[in-house]
Amino acid sequence: MLQAITGLKGFAIEATDGQMGAVVDFLFDDASWRVSWLVVECGSWLRGRKVLIHPSAVSYTALADEEFNVDLTKAQVESSPEWGEHQPVSQRMERQLYEHYGWDPLWDEAPNPSAIPGAMASPLMVPPNLGLPIGEQPHCETAEPPESDMHLRSVSEVIGYHLLATDGEIGHVENFLIDASDWGLHYFVADTGSWWLGKQVLIAPCAVQSIDWSDRHVHLDVTRKQVEESPPWDPLVVFDEVYAKQLHSHYGWPGSGA
């Protein structure tokens, strides 16, 4: 089931031996458009420390509970590799987390059906990592992997980015629709602002041509007329397969999106 990802922020995280904090952000991979990490604020329990939790460790039974369960103990979390919120998430840090918890690093290798794998592998320019400072870029001759994962993005950072059609701006990123069963970001929720009387429309990641991370612009392979004539979307109505087929058929996107 698709749902707005901002509705999941603030969800409590329940370890096997008690509550360990709450979700404050999600980090996603801009090549697969899938959430790679949940950022959890531990609060007073760990002196306000933020930790990264892998989606494969997370489960929940109902949105009404506003709670994620993780098959971890608080002791495991407390002894996990420390990540400073003002530091990039390095590949070394990810490896340490996988080893510490015994998580499978290939868990999220399956492609997101609503995205084109690798579509964002070559953005217009080297972007800031999560809106945070990044380390020096590696020299071309080195065989060492880059210290930071340049494809990890913060949901909180990208919300607000301007969306540009081929013939002008259509609004900004208001939200993402996520499927918690695969943690894929299936659509941008675009707020069209004053251009189209504040209507909201859905844009699939496969429509993204490039992203200018420094200017906070997302360039789309759609026209303003296509957006204006797209099937209307009502956030109060359940997203179903019929609507998904209409939406994808209108734009010529692959798949049904549902």
> What are the residue ranges spanned by the domains of the chain?
157-251
Domain 157-251 has CATH 3.60.110.10: no
Structural contact between residues 6 and 158, judged by C-beta atoms closer than 8 angstroms: no
pLDDT at 116: 35
Residue 50 CB coordination number (10 Å): 16
pLDDT at 92: 87
pLDDT at 150: 63
pLDDT along the chain (258 residues), means of 10: 91 92 94 93 87 90 79 93 80 91 76 40 31 30 44 93 95 93 93 82 95 94 95 87 94 77
pLDDT at 177: 96
pLDDT at 138: 29
Helix (H/G/I), strand (E/B), else coil: 97: helix
Structural contact between residues 42 and 50, judged by C-beta atoms closer than 8 angstroms: yes
pLDDT at 257: 53
Give the span between the Cα atoms of 74 and 82, in whole angstroms.
14
Pairing label, strands 200-203, 12-15: unpaired
Structural contact between residues 40 and 13, judged by C-beta atoms closer than 8 angstroms: yes
Q: Which of 21, 78, 69 lies closest to 44, judged by CA? A: 21
* CA 43 to chain CA centroid, nearest Å: 23
pLDDT at 61: 59
